[in-house]
């Protein structure tokens, strides 16, 4: 009786695994990451999307090509990278508008974002262990928490798993 129960459990597990795999393949036939854009309170999903200059172009399943200006985008995911529109702060903590920041790491309720800009007034530039340069900011939820600078990078970056030199 015990052998029968174990055998039935293994067969059931096999069917569940096969069904989950087929569902995953059906939802992502090309093997590409599914990209999304959130703009104007609406979410759009596509397997073929790219950023061109100051807009995102998405090829929808029904053949429609959707183009959204980046200034109207609240968040997007592309090639496995996630970007959120957040308020920027300068070295003193004063708000300086908003921008799309790349989510680099997350730990507890804190998130580390990278901002690639030529504006040196916002903060210090750092290069992470993947060779990406930019300014780094820490947010708690959607609220600005602290900028990464010369005085705190040796503790903040390793906290998020980024090696410092």
Distance of CA 82 to the CA centre of its chain: 2
pTM for this entry? 0.73
Q: Summarize pLDDT for 18-58 with one digit per residue, the tens.
A: 444 444 444 444 456 788 999 999 999 988 889 988 999 99
- Whether residue 134 contacts residue 114, with contact meaning beta carbons closer than 8 Å, is answered with yes
Do 49 and 108 share a structural domain? no
Backbone angles phi, psi at 70, to 5 degrees: -60, -30
Do 8 and 49 share a structural domain? no
How far apart are alpha carbons 86 and 83 in whole angstroms?
A: 9
Q: Answer yes or no: is 56 within a domain.
A: yes
Do 145 and 88 share a structural domain? yes
Please give the mean pLDDT across all residues of the chain: 78
Do 125 and 108 share a structural domain? yes
State the pLDDT at residue 95: 83
Do 87 and 61 share a structural domain? no
Do 52 and 107 share a structural domain? no
State the pLDDT at residue 22: 47
Q: Residue 1 — pLDDT band, cuts 50, 70, 90?
A: low
Domain that holds residue 60: 35-70
Do 87 and 46 share a structural domain? no
Residue of 59, 68, 63, 61 lying closest to 37 (CA atoms): 68
- Whether residue 141 contacts residue 162, with contact meaning beta carbons closer than 8 Å, is answered with no
| 154: DSSP letter | H
Do 105 and 121 share a structural domain? yes
- Whether residue 72 contacts residue 82, with contact meaning beta carbons closer than 8 Å, is answered with no
Q: Answer yes or no: is 42 within a domain.
A: yes
Q: Answer yes or no: is 47 within a domain.
A: yes
Count of domains for the chain:
3
Q: Summarize pLDDT for 90-113 with one digit per residue, the tens.
A: 777 778 888 899 999 999 899 999
Do 148 and 114 share a structural domain? yes
């Amino acid at each position: 009786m015990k052998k029968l129960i174990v055998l039935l459990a293994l067969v059931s597990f096999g069917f569940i695994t096969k069904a989950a795999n087929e569902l995953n393949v059906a939802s992502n036939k090309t093997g590409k990451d599914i990209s999304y854009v959130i703009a104007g309170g609406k979410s759009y999903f596509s397997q073929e999307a790219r950023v061109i200059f100051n807009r995102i172009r998405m090829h929808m399943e029904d053949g429609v090509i959707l183009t959204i200006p980046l200034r109207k985008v609240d968040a997007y995911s592309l090639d496995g990278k996630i970007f959120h529109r957040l308020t920027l702060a300068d070295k003193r903590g004063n708000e300086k508008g908003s921008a799309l920041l790349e989510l680099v790491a997350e730990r507890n309720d804190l998130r580390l974002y990278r901002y690639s800009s030529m504006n040196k007034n916002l903060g210090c530039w750092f290069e992470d262990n993947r060779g990406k340069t930019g300014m780094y900011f820490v947010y708690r939820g959607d609220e600005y928490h602290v900028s990464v600078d010369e005085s705190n990078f040796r503790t903040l970056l390793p906290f998020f798993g980024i090696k410092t030199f």
